[in-house]
Amino acid sequence: MTQPSPVRRRVDPRAERAARTILTGQRPRLLPQPVAVAVNGRRRDPRALRAAALVQIQPRPRYDWARDAASAGATAAVGIGVAATPAIPLQVIAEPAYLILAMLDRPGGEVSEHDRQVIAAARLLADAGGGAVVTVSTGSGDALAEAGSDRHVALPDGWADDYVPERRAAAASALMAALSPRHILFPDSPDGGDVARRVAAAAGERLFAGVQSLGPDRATRQSAGGSLEAGHRPTRLMTVAVDAFPPLDGVRHEARPLDLAAPVMAGEELPPRLGGARRLAVDPDALSLSETDFILSAGNGVTDWQSFAELGEALGATRAGSRVVCDAGHLPRERQVGASGMVVSARCYLAFGIAGAPQHLQGITGVRHVIAVNTDLHAEMIKRADLSIVADAQAVMPALIRLIRERRHA
Ligand SMILES: Cc1cc2nc3c(=O)[nH]c(=O)nc-3n(C[C@H](O)[C@H](O)[C@H](O)COP(=O)(O)OP(=O)(O)OC[C@H]3O[C@@H](n4cnc5c(N)ncnc54)[C@H](O)[C@@H]3O)c2cc1C
């Protein structure tokens, strides 16, 4: 004889979902657990469940763009918002167990992305066992503290102007003798690679060039056109491939100056052997987007192309754009940034009137600083940006040109 089946309640998924919904400002949120509401024994009343679950709290926090606009003086119509950054604790390595030297290029006195990547690679070795990173370059170490430098050896500023790799090689050799570092890393760049090979030849040591992954026990690089990976125990001298290590963010080290004048200056006596070597002024628009450090980019929100060109010239930035503007013929196709255009890794990307479609953002994942100018506060490009100007691009461009000219004149 079959037993009568127990009465099963009907499940109403919509009511259950509604019961778990909380309104925070304008965006509904789900509670982790269903809200227990007894509704006259059997049937669920979705409206009653929703009303019981409705929690009215303050709207989500938002930046006060208006306040920044008020303090922006001449460009008061332009609201500029900067997110407050919390203080980053200072990392002090008082008694390092060993030293890792990072010989930086610092082209034109600026810390390049590749320089930051070399410091990040050096940190991997230093942090594995209580070591410290010693950066070596022209200029002070202030700009290197947030890249991860514990100590800094400043080479004479004049060395930045002349192409005398012998001097840097002599300085590196002198530092090797004076500090006995466990490893010395160089950028695998034309200048850094040149110095590294000179140091290796002088020391009679092997150089492991083009490192792409690094740990205290193993370094690897690609070979055979990228089809093979060669691994090795980290040698003392290594060059670091470009874009192999992400630069550090959110760290603050000491970059304490190391006074080692005597051994480092040993190279000063060496005269330049290439009499005609000098830095050439380049037209930023002649540079490939993959090589330039500063990109001024336009989207569909730009209509004043004269000001866009003038601003590019005033800033010394390479011009680029979204697919829409390249399709419209405002810029040549090779200037298109994005998934089906160029993937760029500039230090600064200044975007005017670009929405920030996923295909466009894919092209700027490696960019360090993004500045967005857009009339729409909720544009994806504004979310990606470190600094945003919520205003009409046609108003901001001439204002910036004026400001640059005034500063130059002053
Ligand atoms: C397969 C595929 C590949 C693609 N590849 C790429 C690619 O490589 N690169 C790429 O860019 N796109 C690519 N796209 C297109 C992409 O999806 C977007 O359509 C495109 O990026 C949008 O360009 P935009 O932001 O300039 O224009 P819009 O989407 O029209 O956005 C214009 C923006 O300007 C703002 N604006 C309007 N007026 C002003 C003003 N006066 N001042 C300031 N701001 C203003 C608006 O608020 C808006 O945010 C691809 C699409 C597909 C399907």
| Section 187-213 average pLDDT | 95
> pLDDT at position 7, please?
62
The protein residue with its alpha carbon nearest to ligand 1, atom 11, reads 322
Q: Which atom of ligand 1 is nearest to the CA of 324?
A: 23
> pLDDT at position 64, please?
43
Taking the CA atoms of 53, 56, 61 and 64 in sequence, report the sign of the dihedral they define: positive
Question: Which of 3.40.50.720, 3.40.50.1220, 3.30.1330.30, 2.30.30.230 would CATH assign to domain 284-409?
Answer: 3.40.50.1220
**What are the backbone dihedrals phi and psi of residue 4, each rounded to the nearest 5 degrees, phi first?**
-65, 135
Q: Where are the domains of the chain?
A: 18-53, 90-269, 284-409
Tokens 């942090």 correspond to 127
Q: How far is the CA of 114 from the centre of ligand 1 (A)?
A: 30
Note the maximum CA span of the chain.
108
pTM value?
Answer: 0.60
Taking the CA atoms of 210, 213, 219 and 222 in sequence, report the sign of the dihedral they define: negative
Least confident among 26-40, 153-167, 182-196: 26-40
CB 173 within 8 A of CB 277: no
Nearest to 346 by CA among 321, 361, 360, 365: 365
CATH fourth-level superfamily of 90-269: HUPs (3.40.50.620)
- What confidence category does residue 232 fall into, taking pLDDT thresholds of 50, 70 and 90? confident
Tell me the pLDDT of the chain averaged across its residues.
83
Q: Which atom of ligand 1 is nearest to the CA of 376?
A: 47
| Section 259-283 average pLDDT | 66
Least confident among 63-67, 102-106, 296-300: 63-67
Q: Taking the CB of residue 208, how many other CB atoms lie within 10 A of it?
A: 23
Note whether 90-269 and 284-409 share their fold: yes
Q: What is the pLDDT of residues 33-50, one digit of tens each?
A: 444 444 455 566 666 666
Q: What is the pLDDT of residues 32-91, one digit of tens each?
A: 444 444 445 556 666 666 655 554 444 444 444 444 444 444 333 344 444 455 678 899
Q: How far is the CA of 249 from the centre of ligand 1 (A)?
A: 29
Q: Higher-confidence residue: 8 or 331?
A: 331
Mutate to test the pocket of ligand 1, among 360, 364, 370, 383 (most ligand atoms within 8 A of CB): 360
Q: Which atom of ligand 1 is nearest to the CA of 381?
A: 49
Pairing verdict, β 151-155 and 183-187? unpaired
**Residue 166 pLDDT greater than 80, yes or no:** yes
Residues in the ligand 1 pocket, defined by CB under 6 Å: 299-301, 322-324, 336-341, 353-355, 357, 359-360, 363, 373-376, 379, 392-394
